[in-house]
Amino acid sequence: MIIRQEICVGCGRCHPYCPTHAIHFQDLKSAVDQEVCYECGCCLRAEICPVEAIEDSPQVYDYPRALRKYFSDPNATHALTGIQGRGTEESKTNDVTLRVGPGEVGIAIEVGRPNIGMNLTNIQKITRALARAGIHEIEPNNPFQDMIQDHSTGDLKPELMGERVLSAIIEIQVKRDRLRHILRTIKEVAREVDSVFCLDVYTLLEPGLTVPPEVLEIIESEGLSWRPNAKINLGLGRAWERKNS
Amino acid sequence: MTHSLHREGTISSLERDYALFIYPARGFNYNGSGPKVRRIMELLYLEAPSNMIVSTLRRNLYSGVRPEEVLESIKDGARIYSAFNNREKLKEALVGIKKLDEGISVVVSGLIDQVREMAAEINLNPHTINLSLGIHGRTDRLPPPDIRQFTTMCGHGMVSPALVRDVIRRIKKGRLALWEGSIILAAPCTCGIYNPHRSQEMLHDLVPLYTVNRW
Ligand code: SF4
Ligand code: SF4
């Protein structure tokens, strides 16, 4: 994002809208620190500027900077996947797609969430740790895939190392017996990461909204706990309408 | 998309906070989903959610958008994102959606115990759960929990902690009413799952306690 200096009146109204403090005063006007800005679009969408000095930067869709927008602005449609957002449909359409089936779990590492974001060198710490631990089952349909240069090492494309994103999701889908190993690996790499990430596990339910005890036991035995609120697919999708589109 | 999964706050506050999603599945029941999603949207308007957006328009209930405009924008693949501040209203909506039987995936984000009870009361068989195992890494860099209970209502991080503090400051100065402040905070969430009714209650509790010079 840019602020047109010749128009800005330095009222400061746009500052609190920026989730990452990229907007600051400079010579009685406001300016956007291009290094810090995620291109999330919050300041522009707020329509708060009395003189319309806030504009998309001409470089916003240039590669690799464009990744900032694709992974930070929920309204941006990713050029590769044609999908708005960071992830796939994971659990939310699972009653139709059965992507995560019996005996399987999905794991999502939501890097940068909540609030803080992350530069891609930090995300590479996670992908490298996963690769070193022999975890290569990263969801192929997630736009994050496109950042990876070498699956065997977890290296991201070198030209991305200067970029930062507000959130990206690494999704992994495995048999349940791999869950313990993966949680352990993620817990270890958490110490190296200079930001935050949220960790999720999704699984089929047993009758009566019962989470499979085997899954809970693995989570607990790794010293982790689950929040009292969760995202629950109510099973109203009709799987027999599959593949009609 | 896991963006509704990490809503923070006390249990009594989360008891009045549910996100409801209607999702056609890409490559499965996507084609022909437009009219089905539209019928669900019509029903949801009658159930008075706290907030709501359709993915084809992305303008929330408080943006001044007319329901007809919203309904007309719905085409195949459109998704509905909404927030409810009342368990009974959500239950009514789910009864109606079940009756419509459109075959489109329905997801509720909320307290597991409450959703379990609700599902039993209306005879639903929940299929898949996405559990949050919390926040990891440099948690010392996070905004404090009382600010996070606002900002995590937008899982994409669009509600800036600085904006929450700014709104608190303006309410304290008498420049904004609680509800006006809530609507300002709901606006950046372009998925329409920020719950302004819950946010109003939280502002009411927080404003007297907070001293904010400048964000
Ligand atoms: S686009 Fe987002 S990160 Fe960049 S200045 Fe605007 S609000 Fe801040
Ligand atoms: S709101 Fe507009 S005029 Fe005011 S500081 Fe921001 S860019 Fe400048």
pLDDT of amino acid A226: 96
* Ligand 2 centre distance from Cα of residue A23 (Å): 10
Least confident of A76-80, A84-88, B7-11, B34-38: A84-88
Residue A115 banded pLDDT, cuts 50, 70, 90: confident
CB contacts, 8 Å: A86 with chain B: 1
Atom of ligand 1 minimally distant from the CA of A23: 5
Nearest chain B residue (CA) to A21: B162
Judged by CB atoms closer than 8 Å, whether chains meet at A93 and B24 is answered as: yes
Rounded to an integer, the average pLDDT of A155-175 is: 91
Q: Who among B23, B32, B142 is closest to A92 (CB)?
A: B23
Residue A10: which residues within 8 A CB-CB, separation 6 or more? A25, A28, A29, A30
Test mutation, B136, B168, B214, chain A, max A CBs within 10 A: B136
Residue A80 banded pLDDT, cuts 50, 70, 90: low
**Minimal-distance CA residue to ligand 2 atom 4:** A11
pLDDT of A78 over the 70 cut: no
Shortest distance between the Cα of A220 and any Cα of chain B, in A, equals 10
pLDDT of amino acid A56: 95
d(CA B109, CA B7): 9
**Minimal-distance CA residue to ligand 1 atom 4:** A37
> Whole-angstrom distance between the N-terminal and C-terminal Cα of chain B?
30
pLDDT of amino acid B215: 47
Rounded to an integer, the average pLDDT of A22-40 is: 95
pLDDT of A162 over the 60 cut: yes
Q: For chain A, what is the mean pLDDT? A: 89
Q: Is the ipTM of this complex over 0.85?
A: yes
Residue A90 banded pLDDT, cuts 50, 70, 90: low
d(CA A120, CA B179): 38
Residue A241 banded pLDDT, cuts 50, 70, 90: low
Least confident of A56-70, A87-101, B87-101, B188-202: A87-101
Residues of chain B with pLDDT under 70: 1-2, 212-215
pLDDT of amino acid A240: 60
Residue A79 banded pLDDT, cuts 50, 70, 90: low
- A119 touching chain B per CB within 8 A: no
Residues with CB under 6 Å of ligand 1 are: A 1, 17-18, 20, 22-23, 32, 37-43
d(CA A191, CA B80): 38
Judged by CB atoms closer than 8 Å, whether chains meet at B28 and A96 is answered as: yes
- A148 touching chain B per CB within 8 A: no
- A127 touching chain B per CB within 8 A: no
Closest CA to B58 of B191, B159, B195: B191
Judged by CB atoms closer than 8 Å, whether chains meet at A91 and B4 is answered as: no
pLDDT of amino acid B141: 93
**Minimal-distance CA residue to ligand 2 atom 8:** A8
pLDDT of amino acid A142: 78
Rounded to an integer, the average pLDDT of A197-208 is: 95
CB atoms within 10 A of CB A140: 9
Atom of ligand 1 minimally distant from the CA of A166: 3
pLDDT of amino acid A103: 93
Share of chain A above pLDDT 70, in %: 92
The beta-carbon contacts of A148-156 under 8 Å, at least 24 apart in sequence, are A153/A128, A154/A124, A154/A126, A154/A127, A154/A128, A154/A129, A154/A130, A155/A124, A155/A127, A155/A128, A156/A120, A156/A123, A156/A124, A156/A127
Q: pLDDT, tens digit, for every residue of A229-240? A: 999 999 999 876
Q: Which ligand gives the minimal distance to the CA of A12? A: 2
Instruction: Kindly state the tokens that stand for A46.
Output: 């707020």
Residues with CB under 6 Å of ligand 2 are: A 3, 8-14, 30, 48-51, 53-54
Place of tokens 């270890």: A188
d(CA B155, CA B160): 11
Q: Are strands A164-165 and A168-175 parallel, antiparallel or unpaired?
A: unpaired
Closest CA to A8 of A46, A41, A48: A48
* Ligand 1 centre distance from Cα of residue A19 (Å): 7
Shortest distance between the Cα of A160 and any Cα of chain B, in A, equals 21
Test mutation, A191, A231, A233, A245, chain B, max B CBs within 10 A: A231
Instruction: Kindly state the tokens that stand for A49.
Output: 């500027």
* pTM (predicted TM-score): 0.93
pLDDT of A85 over the 70 cut: no
Q: pLDDT, tens digit, for every residue of A205-218? A: 999 999 999 999 99
Residue A81 banded pLDDT, cuts 50, 70, 90: low
Closest CA to B182 of B5, B67, B51, B13: B51
pLDDT of A86 over the 60 cut: no
